[in-house]
Structure 1
Amino acid sequence: MCARYTLSSSEKEILAAYSATMTEPFTPTINARITERMPVITADEPDKIQQMHFQLVAHFAEGPKSVKATFNTRDDKIMESKLWRPLFVNHKRVLIPANGFYELDKVTAPQENQVYKFGLTDREIFSYAGLWSKWVGPGYELPYYSFSIITTESNTKVGNVHDKKRMPVILNKEDEALWLSKDVSPAQLMQLLKPYPDDLMYAERSSVRANTPGLIQSGDQNSL
């Protein structure tokens, strides 16, 4: 599952990739982790790039640290979940800007604890499909806004290292507006939740480790 990703592009580069404005300053990161605040674009306000916490907290949860929090949303269970389905059908959808994501190799050499970074060969900045939620409760003066990344079955490149054969949903550029549209049916949107083509992705070894920040090192690009 996708628990770490990168958005190392500058604000200027992000703004150039989307027809939206930043609502607050953003610091680029090569290692976005669970609960960090990261940029998203919502279907409700598609002209704004906002920041929310990475890990979706159900509106009915006891709080942001609830066991009901989830950083990934499975596409094959989205229509049956009491958390995900209402968000999906009621337009609580987001674009999540990114440059790449990390996966630990649990297939070819699990004992080596090797992490791979995956990115796209056809563009530097792309969007994950995601859902967002608003939680309000005691102990928090302001609402807690959070999001999750939708995952689907993996393509071959990601599946070569991911033992559960899952990967984040990466939207085609031309499908980003459709994902945020409120004039399409859930059935149409489900068609967008599919693996990204192998030939448009690269994989390289990374020095990022499971629970520590790290720097990306050059590796065997396209070796998977």
Structure 2
Amino acid sequence: MCSHYEAPTPRLLAHTFGIDPYEQGKLDLWPGYIGPFVRRAEQVDHDGAVQMPVEALSGSFGLIPSWSKDTKIARRTYNARSETVAEKPSFRSAWRLAQHCIIPAAAIYEPDWRSGKAIATRIARTDGELMGIAGLWEQWRDPGTGEILHSYTMLTINADDHPFMRNYHKPQDEKRMVVILPRGLYSDWLKAPACESMEFMRQYPADRMAVAV
């Protein structure tokens, strides 16, 4: 599970996705914080053509379903287990509607318990590129003000047999990892229908991940 990650710089985000520079506040993100996510563009011009294939939006790290009374639920919905995402009330609507997004991350943080105590460890791609984490997005309307707030969650899979990620979290706990997409699958994930979503739930190669300072 990933509850702490580092957003990329606006310049790296813009370069990776071919979008205009994106204004980002905090780069060090925890559940409930506001961070960037990328989805298929919904903007169209007067001729009906899409202006950009993707767009970056700000949202809460932690998915807030439309039926939630407030935003506190984001503290518990920052990760969605791919095995049960279609069934859980908080996630099933976004999954059924294929509201796919990519959460850009310069690095993720996981606890290393091999010394007997939790040591927060920064993990990044070995090639220095940003991680494109598969996620789901949602929008929530504040019942008091009527304002719209976007939110997102990271999809996770089992990592008990992953040569790298099995070293993290408590020894007795199931090992989990976020779904990191190869760059060549970004477009495919964003446009995939719900019936194909599970095909993207794969482990990222261990030799492409490393502890980073």
The TM tier, using the shorter chain, reads 0.7 to 0.9
Flag structure 1 segments of 5+ consecutive residues without an equivalent. 205-217, 219-224
Flag structure 2 segments of 5+ consecutive residues without an equivalent. 43-52
- Residue 175 of structure 1 is matched in structure 2 by 185
Which has the larger displacement, 55-64 or 39-48?
39-48
Within 5 Å, give how 1:27-106 maps onto structure 2.
27=25, 29=27, 31-45=28-42, 46-66=53-73, 69-106=76-113
- Residue 205 of structure 2 is matched in structure 1 by 197
Residues 68, 198 of structure 1: alpha-carbon distance in 2 compared, 3 angstrom cutoff = closer
CA RMSD in angstroms comes to 2.1
Identity of aligned residues (%): 24
Q: Which amino acid aligns with 1:195?
A: Q
Residues 140, 151 of structure 1: alpha-carbon distance in 2 compared, 3 angstrom cutoff = farther
| SS in structure 2 of the partner of residue 14 of structure 1 | helix
Question: Matches of 2:9 and 2:108 in 1, distance apart?
Answer: 17
- Please say if 1:119 is aligned against 2:124: yes
Question: Matches of 1:43 and 1:11 in 2, distance apart?
Answer: 18
Q: Which amino acid aligns with 2:201?
A: L
| SS in structure 2 of the partner of residue 128 of structure 1 | strand
Report the alpha carbon displacement of residue 175 of structure 1 after superposing the two structures with TM: 0.8
Question: Matches of 1:77 and 1:109 in 2, distance apart?
Answer: 32
* Native 8 Å contact 1:101 1:117 kept in 2: yes
Within 5 Å, give how 1:127-166 maps onto structure 2.
127-154=132-159, 155-163=162-170, 164-166=174-176
- Please say if 1:110 is aligned against 2:107: no
* Native 8 Å contact 1:52 1:146 kept in 2: yes
Question: Matches of 2:108 and 2:75 in 1, distance apart?
Answer: 23
* Native 8 Å contact 1:41 1:50 kept in 2: yes
Q: Which amino acid aligns with 1:56?
A: L
Q: Which amino acid aligns with 1:135?
A: W
Q: Which amino acid aligns with 1:199?
A: D
* Native 8 Å contact 2:100 2:134 kept in 1: yes
Q: Structure 1 length as normaliser, TM-score?
A: 0.80
Q: Structure 2 length as normaliser, TM-score?
A: 0.84
Question: Matches of 1:180 and 1:40 in 2, distance apart?
Answer: 12
- Residue 20 of structure 1 is matched in structure 2 by 19
